[in-house]
Chain A
Amino acid sequence: MGRAKPERTKRYTIFTDIRKNPVSYLLVLPAMLYTFIFGYMTLPYMVIAFQRFNYAKGIFDSEWVGFKNFEFFFQSTAATMVTWNTIKLNLLSIAFGTVVALLFAILLNEVRSHVFKRVSQSTLLFPHFLSWIIVSYIVYSLFATEHGLINNLLQTFGFDPHNWYSDPKPWTWILVALSVWKETGMSAVIYLAAITAIDDSLYEAAKIDGASRWQQIKSITLPMLMPTVSILTLLAIGKIFYSDFGMIYAIIGDNGMLYSTTDVIDTYTFRTLRTSGNPSIAMAIGMYQSVVGFVLVLTANWAVKKFNRDSAIF
């Protein structure tokens, strides 16, 4: 491509580009339109956090109330509870999820039999494909007070059955266990891919030096995996203010007896919008989540960048 001659210094704008590549711009248009509507056009609606929103009057004519909605939320006992529950459930899931997935990635990598490796990998991955609704049925068949398998077993061994669905205490751990159960296979596959990318000559050299299996794992596999692990962990920490709404709402639903340990920002916002029908307060909570969440993502990315330049997402 020749450089533009001085006499034809027509500026190269986006319109020039569109004229040169009309088909390309046409092809990207639907996706842009969609993103514009659901990504950008939704932003103005955030102002209703500062209003007493009235459906009939709409976004332009509703009454402005300043920070009242935020005050209402932050002065309620729910604010600390849902924030803490969200962070706690996420931190525990990240910690256990990472350790278990790493463990199984390494274990799977050591398996010699191809058939066993394939079959077990498929089995570990399977729960990932189930919806949380299906998982909630599984949870119910295990924990139901009347017929549940766990209460059955308790009774068989002479213990009293437990009323699981009205005791909030164990649910933190049940939810963490479920998220580990469902996502281990997926994360293990990612780690397994990273392990496969490790240079084989490292292992060969170690073997010649007489390193055992265990020593190879400790001194080669684990250290080589650390960058991937730290990056995925940091990115997960960036999303710590968000929870899997589908998971919590499918399993806990509107069971108020379990809120003290399981209610998270997402489910709380949902209920504020749907049940109490107050979009302004729901928006205020949502805005708190979006803004803190955004800051956390930026911080996490900054940390990743410090750690390893190439792996930052932007």
Chain B
Amino acid sequence: MKKIDWFQLVNTVFIFLFALMCTLPILLVLIVSFSDEQSILQNGYSFFPDRFSLEAYRSVFASNEQLLQSYAVSIGVTLIGTLAAVTITGMAGYTLANRQVRYRNPIALFFFITMLFNAGLVPWYMMNDLLGFKNNLLALIIPTLIFSPFNLFLVRNFMQELPDALLESARMDGASDAYIAFRIVFPLSMPVLATVALFYGLGYWNNWFNAIMLVDKESLYPLQYLLYKMQSEINMINQMQGVAISNTLAPTESFKMAVAIITIGPIVLLYPFLQRFIIKGLVIGAVKG
């Protein structure tokens, strides 16, 4: 018995240490955002600042129109994008899972090929240029994220597992394809649709690639891109001037970290749901391959 206790103890300590490593860096950002600017300048980033201050958050909320604007862009893009993406994916999943459709496998192959071979960045950019997805909200919503074959196959696999007898009896009762899709299959597929929604939602919330490629109007900056801009401008100033004379120009250290924390905020709030669903989704995906 004693031996097993040792194993458990070491095991627990090990996991605890790694969990700590996963949290401490984020905690550092949080603490810095609540630190007094002077104590950061004197002592650097620290888990134990001399003084705490709410100044950073006050200035974030008081003065920064750009930030509010970006927040609005991020929320809007995430909501609209996720809704559109889930709808498209769910509908296509229904067709690929529908045994009445004889050509469903060639159609699946049509989607699958794009997962294997990708023309790359340049054609992607030119296509968006051609379609006019530049400097508008669509540039943040449609390219790269509105639909992913991986999620489609996840949805299809789930829908295929629904009991055949159920759909068969609905058909016998004269239910149309549309009725079966919208009244029977979609409601029953809520778990997988929610999982996919979270994948898409997280993708939209964390996306800044579309912004860096296709957007240079400040009013369209999503939050992540605003954060990126803030940091890269500071780096540029630092590289040019060498030392920290730039403190008057650049946003303060605590201000930056406050914005980072505000960007993580919604994820933390949704985390319990996110995590549960995504684990479920992953397990579905992993078992089915």
Pick the residue among B8, B14, B147, B274 that contacts A129 (CB under 8 A). B274
Q: Would B117 and A137 count as touching, CB distance under 8 A?
A: no
B227: chain A residues within 8 A (beta carbon)? 133-134, 137
Report yes or no: B181 in contact with A46, Cβ–Cβ below 8 A: no
A38 touches B127 (CB 8 A): yes
Q: With A14-B103, A129-B271, A137-B227 in contact, is A254–B15 under 8 Å at CB?
A: no
**Chain A: CB-nearest residue to B109:** A314
A223 to chain B: closest CB distance in Å? 18
| Nearest CB of chain A from residue B197's CB, rounded to whole Å | 15
Q: Note all chain A residues with C-beta closer than 8 A to B144.
A: 38
The answer to the question of B61 belonging to the interface, with a C-beta cut-off of 8 Å to chain A, is no
How far apart are A176's CB and chain B's nearest CB, in angstroms? 15
B44, B117, B152, B209 — most chain A CB neighbours (10 Å): B44
Residues of chain B at interface, number, CB under 8 A: 102
Binds A, one of B24-32, B50-58, B64-72: B24-32
Select the residue from A273, A289, A297 with max chain B CB neighbours within 10 A: A273
Please report the C-alpha to C-alpha distance between residue A34 and residue B141 in the assembled complex, in whole angstroms.
13
| Contact (Cβ within 8 A) A189 B282 | yes
Known: A147-B44, A152-B43. A25 touches B95 (CB 8 A): yes
Q: How many A-B residue pairs have CB under 8 A?
A: 264
Interface size class of A (residues with CB under 8 A): 35 or more
Select one of B11, B110, B228 contacting A133, CB under 8 A.
B228
Q: Is the CB of B23 within 8 A of A286?
A: no
Residue B63 interfacial (CB < 8 Å): no
State which of B75-83, B188-196, B257-265 sits at the interface with chain A: B257-265
The reply on B244 being an interface residue by CB < 8 A is yes
Query: CA of A142 to CA of B29 in the docked complex: distance in angstroms?
Result: 10
Contact of B286 among A123, A185, A194, A254 (CB under 8 A): A194
Given A28-B92, A273-B125: A246 in contact with B282 (beta carbons within 8 A): no
Chain B residue contacts of A133, Cβ below 8 A: 206, 208, 224-225, 227-228, 231, 263
Instruction: List the interface of chain B (C-beta within 8 A of A).
Output: 3-4, 7-8, 11-12, 14-16, 18-19, 21-23, 25-26, 28-29, 32, 40-41, 43-47, 88-89, 91-92, 94-96, 98, 100-103, 107, 110-114, 116-127, 131, 143-144, 146-147, 149, 152, 176-178, 181, 202, 205-209, 212-213, 224-225, 227-228, 231-232, 235, 239, 243-244, 253, 256-257, 260, 263-264, 267, 271, 274-275, 278-279, 282-283, 286-287, 289
Beyond A184-B18, A266-B121: 9 further Cβ-contacts under 8 Å?
A30-B92, A37-B127, A42-B126, A42-B127, A119-B19, A122-B275, A125-B275, A137-B257, A149-B47
Q: List 22 A-B contacts (CB under 8 A).
A: A23-B177, A24-B177, A28-B96, A31-B88, A31-B111, A35-B149, A37-B131, A42-B124, A43-B123, A110-B8, A111-B11, A116-B12, A120-B16, A142-B45, A146-B44, A152-B46, A253-B235, A266-B121, A287-B120, A289-B120, A290-B120, A294-B116
